[in-house]
Structure 1
């Protein structure tokens, strides 16, 4: 199995960054790679329980992903499962995601995405690109 780890420094405090990970109105500003919209969702990542999102690509294609939030410790981390759905809405291979936020020495924060148990190296490569693009959107949303 393959894993993805991405780390980014932000000038905002951990509380502010964590709010962008858990509050739906903030999540929708950055959730998904650049060029993606989220027309349908239940992105309650701030509480234990199920979540899902349907991402719409620039050509109208729909990508559905869902999982369960397993742990939320404000403003330090969120852990949730992740699985893409196929054209028949069946969930595929389940992996795990952890968002970590820690204070940085400059008064801002360090944000880390740890996506583990991906099916293979190709999946890890695709998720690396998707998460990197999404984090770029997060950085822009944070200002």
Structure 2
């Protein structure tokens, strides 16, 4: 069906009972981001600013911020430090925050993934968005089990 070099995208949507500005801070404040993803997080949340998320000591996500619309949208490039398949900058993630009822609809779109990488990233975002949801709603998701074991 697809050629090997074609790129796919994955989309996920989740409703979170908190205001967009509360949710937004979980993408731009390293102390908050590290509570739902990674063990060590470095962020420069400005256009062209870099980020580095050390998930478990060996898997390290890196990229840069491309677009930041306060409380509405964040676009960043994404990749893994040592990966040949998804090197840093090779794919793009967009997070859109839309106010809805008494909370925020979070829409994630991950572009430019190779077909073979879609399912592992789908699993990853399912895991992390559930953690983000409970955190932003005031619960404690606890230590990320993935932060203590290598994924690959």
TM-score norm. by structure 2 comes to 0.77
Equivalent residue for 2:54?
54
Q: CA deviation at 1:27?
A: 0.6
The farther-off stretch of 46-55 and 69-78 is 46-55
- Partners of 1:87 and 1:140 lie apart in 2 by 30
Distance 2:89 2:43 in 1: 20
Q: Does 1:114 align with 2:109?
A: yes
**How many residue pairs align between the two structures?**
129
Runs of 4+ in 1 over 2 A off after TM superposition: none
2:120 matched to which residue of 1? 126
What is the RMSD computed on CA atoms of the aligned residues?
2.1
Instruction: Give me the whole-angstrom Cα distance separating, in 2, the residues matched to 1:43 and 1:130.
Output: 20
Normalised TM-score (structure 1)? 0.82
Correspondence for 1:34: none
2: CA distance between counterparts of 1:128 and 1:108? 24
